Amino acid sequence: MVVEDEFIIALALRRQIEAMGLEVCHMTDGVHDALEFARSQTVDVALMDVSLRGGDDGIEAARRLVNEFGVPVVVISAYPEQHIRARAEAAGACAVLGKPASEAELCRALALALGAC
């Protein structure tokens, strides 16, 4: 699942993921929709942006995905400073990637997450 409010970035992530032979089961730009989808469907891993429209906090959503649904999360951020990394790790994220992530970085992060961190 890709949770990203920048449409172009979401599409680029989808292309990268599909080029790796993986399937994107859901794309959304909001926390509520991501949580509802995880509640009703199996999600193997979520790519979660930190700052989403409406002021939603992707790191808090990551915490909920991990704790409530057991979904491994890779956090992505345009500004992956140390405090963002620390918050994401405390929330249970498997990895934190800067935007744009290279294909190699994304591949390593997804492999880690799919191995359940």
Residue 106: give its domain's CATH number: 3.40.50.2300
Q: What pLDDT shows up at residue 116?
A: 61
Q: Which residues neighbour 24 within 8 Å (Cβ) at sequence distance 6 or greater?
A: 1, 2, 13, 14, 17, 18
Residues in the chain, pLDDT under 50: none
Q: What pLDDT shows up at residue 49?
A: 95
Q: What pLDDT shows up at residue 117?
A: 56
Q: What pLDDT shows up at residue 58?
A: 93
Q: What is the pTM of this model?
A: 0.92
Q: What pLDDT shows up at residue 55?
A: 77
Number of domains in the chain: 1
Closest CA to 100 of 2, 5, 13, 7: 13
Instruction: Find the radius of gyration of the CA atoms of the chain.
Output: 12
Residue listed under structure tokens 């249970």: 92
Segments forming the whole domain that contains residue 62? 2-114
Q: What pLDDT shows up at residue 4?
A: 95
